[in-house]
Amino acid sequence: MKQYSKRMVVAHWLTLALLVAAWFLGDALDEARHTGDATLVGYIIHAMIGDLVLLVTLLRFYFRRKDGTPAPVGTGTMDKVATGIHHLLYTVLILLPISGAITIFTSPVGKALLAWDASLLPKKFSGVVAHEVHEVLVSVLILIVVVHILGAIKHQFVLKDGLMSRMALRKQD
């Protein structure tokens, strides 16, 4: 079975690592924000991770175009669903960092960063639509990732078709 290129595989797993880091940091920022303990550095690091997610996602499009992708395993309904899940995943991976950036620019966080004054950080994001969109997108992303993982598990342990080996760093025989 043809594998993805090494750089596509690295981008895939790097995206996962960045998302996990962004989620944990975002969750910690949310808790700290409510108690007034959020830091400017925390917001900057969270935003930088989001920027990296967007960059790696865009690089994946470039790599897909340059390196190609393995042929789909099948053409049935579930294969079309899988394609839709991947398209939705890419869409959310682009929209999530954008909504985060808009949140910074349209909330007191941006003012706090410009003034370098953590006392200006909000305890609540009331009325910041981009933040509400950002939170919804996080939930949607979690749901899509769960479906993606369940699909991979199905291929690995039920269908036993070797599909997961396409995302391995080592060459398969």
pLDDT in the model for residue 64: 94
| 155 close to 1: Cβ distance less than 8 angstroms | no
Q: Residue 69: which domain range? A: 6-167
The answer to whether position 106 is within a domain reads yes
Side-chain half-sphere of 167: how many Cα atoms within 13 Å? Answer: 12
Q: Where are the alpha helices (DSSP H) in the chain?
A: 6-35, 40-67, 77-105, 108-115, 129-153
- What total of structural domains would you count in the chain? 1
pLDDT digits (tens, 9 = 90+) for 107-123: 999 999 999 999 999 99
The answer to whether position 57 is within a domain reads yes
The answer to whether position 173 is within a domain reads no
The pTM is what?
A: 0.92
**Which residues, other chains included, contact 49 with Cβ-Cβ below 8 Å and sequence gap of 6+?**
18, 21, 22, 25
The answer to whether position 1 is within a domain reads no
User: Distance of alpha carbon 36 from its chain centroid, rounded?
Assistant: 27
The answer on pLDDT for 26 being more than 80 is yes
The answer to whether position 22 is within a domain reads yes
pLDDT digits (tens, 9 = 90+) for 119-142: 999 999 989 999 999 999 999 999
pLDDT digits (tens, 9 = 90+) for 42-93: 999 999 999 999 999 999 999 999 999 888 877 788 889 999 999 999 999 9
